[in-house]
Amino acid sequence: MQKYSGMLIALILVISMFAAGMAIAEGTLTMGTNAEFPPFEFVEGDSVIGVDAEIAAEIAKDLGLELVIENMAFDSIIPALTSGQIDIGVAAMTVKPERLNSVDFSDTYYNARQACIVQVGGKAQDSESLKGTTIGVQTGTTGDYAAEEYSEDIQRFAKALDAVLELAGGKLDAVIIDEPVAKNILAALNNPNLTLLDTIEFEDEFYAVAVPKGHPELVESINNTIERITTDGTLDAILLKYFPAEEEPASEEIAQP
Ligand code: ARG
């Protein structure tokens, strides 16, 4: 019965997407992402892999569609959704009230927060000394918005890694990006001169899949997949694959807001 209603939802979805002229009608589900954000999305060889690519594969599987991934700038994802270039945005994207004016979001699948990377013994050591410093961010991200609260001197990068490399080279005082990505990049660079500031408490942020406005069947189908992979252990297995064991988030951290 459950299988039957799932198939029915998929059928209604394909018909309504066809009517809306979305790519779904051609048997594909096109996901837009910015694969500069390990471990959520990054390029390995010719492929985009990571937590989000695997979640999107589960969504496509439940819809009986083939997943196609389009890699683009992070701040191009919402315009690509509103113009119909892509069907879903899966990019460690935080649910923000401003974004809800342009797109809809699925249920959330991950709880993160911002983090601030600084030089050991550098100028920025806490929220007071961070003020007015030169802060690097990835363009259009919540880290970009968070940095605006501390400084007007913000350097925006297309890639999170490039910002951290500029910090390592002494051209920035701090970088504000999502904590799991900050930890991933720091572990990869293994630079003893860089560290995470533990004196600033950033707010919780919740990642969700972004969908063009006006497609409730698609949102419902994505929510069903998120519920399935949360309860059957698939999501935990995906997270375990991409996070070093000691950073594996407790499942209660992946709560809904
Ligand atoms: N969570 C942050 C936001 O929504 C950053 C996401 C960046 N994602 C990416 N794939 N580059 O703004």
Over residues 165-213, the pLDDT tens digits come to 999 999 999 999 999 999 999 999 999 999 999 999 999 999 999 999 9
For the segment 17-30, what is each residue's pLDDT rounded down to a tens digit?
554 556 665 899 99
- DSSP-derived secondary structure letter, 202: P
pLDDT score, position 26: 83
> How far apart are alpha carbons 125 and 117 in whole angstroms?
10
Q: Give me the numbers of helices (H) and strands (E) for the chain, helices first please.
A: 9, 12
For the segment 98-153, what is each residue's pLDDT rounded down to a tens digit?
999 999 999 999 999 999 999 999 999 999 999 999 999 999 999 999 999 999 99
Where along the chain do its domains lie? 2-111+207-246, 114-196
- Whether ligand 1 lies within 6 angstroms of the CB of 33 is answered as yes
**Which residue among 36, 71, 74, 109 is best mutated to probe the pocket of ligand 1, counting the most ligand atoms within 8 A of its Cβ?**
74
Fold classification of 114-196 is D-Maltodextrin-Binding Protein; domain 2 (3.40.190)
How far does the centroid of ligand 1 lie from the alpha carbon of residue 74, in Å? 7
**Which residue among 142, 144, 148, 156 is best mutated to probe the pocket of ligand 1, counting the most ligand atoms within 8 A of its Cβ?**
142
CATH number of 2-111+207-246: 3.40.190.10
Q: Do domains 2-111+207-246 and 114-196 have the same CATH topology?
A: yes
User: Rounded to 5 degrees, what are φ and ψ at 34?
Assistant: -125, 100
In 60-187, which ranges are E strands? 66-71, 88-89, 103-119, 135-138, 154-157, 174-178
> How far apart are alpha carbons 24 and 5 in whole angstroms?
19
Say if CB 173 and CB 154 are below 8 A apart.
no
> How far apart are alpha carbons 15 and 21 in whole angstroms?
10
